[in-house]
Amino acid sequence: MKYLFIGLLILASGMLYFMHQSNKAAAERLKQAEITNQKRLEQNKIDAINAEKAAQTRRLEAEKSKQLKSEDIKLITEKRDQDFKQEQQEKTLEAVKAIEEKARRNLFDPDAAKFRNIKGNCGEINAKNKVGGYTGYRRFIYDKEFDSISIEGDEKDFYAPWMMDILWEKKCP
């Protein structure tokens, strides 16, 4: 009985020893699992931060792209406006030159004609007379319908100052 008791004691202590070793291994595995879980959580946080940074970078690039596109559109619009204005000025200058040429046709010395205050189809012209002196600035009106120039004359002319006043008020802005 004594031997049986000693055998049971050895068996019980062996079982306790193996149970203790098993608990130690389980605790070690649990500790490793917690460390792995902690590392995974930290990696998830880092991934979330990186994803947020990437999203922020994409947003900034998108905003920058929008801004560049709007600036490009603005520049293109300004260029078109500038081209349109320049084209309008060129058309106006061509029209003025055409009117000046038509006015010169009726003058004694066409090359000596001087123009000023040309607005639309109206303006003032100073030309030389047969003696070679300038006559002073006289008003003129270009009529598109008849493609003719009416130049203000003396009181005895058809386009006397009083007649030119009436025409000027009607046809000149």
**How far apart are the two ends of the chain, measured CA to CA in Å?**
139
Give the helix/strand (H/E) hosting 151.
strand 148-151
Tens-binned pLDDT, residue by residue, of the chain (173 aa)? 888 888 888 888 888 888 888 888 888 888 999 999 999 999 999 999 999 999 999 999 999 999 999 999 999 999 999 999 999 999 988 888 888 888 888 788 888 888 888 888 889 989 888 888 888 898 988 888 888 888 887 667 777 888 888 888 888 87
| CA gap 27, 21 in Å, rounded | 10
Sheet holding 114-119, edge to edge: 114-119, 122-126, 138-143, 148-151
Q: How many Å apart are CA 160 and CA 164, to the nearest integer?
A: 6
* Report field, pTM of the whole predicted structure over 0.75: no
Contacts of 119 (CB under 8 A, 6+ apart): 172, 173
Specify the 3-state DSSP secondary structure of 17. Answer: helix
The C-alpha atoms of residue 114 and residue 82 are separated, in whole angstroms, by 30
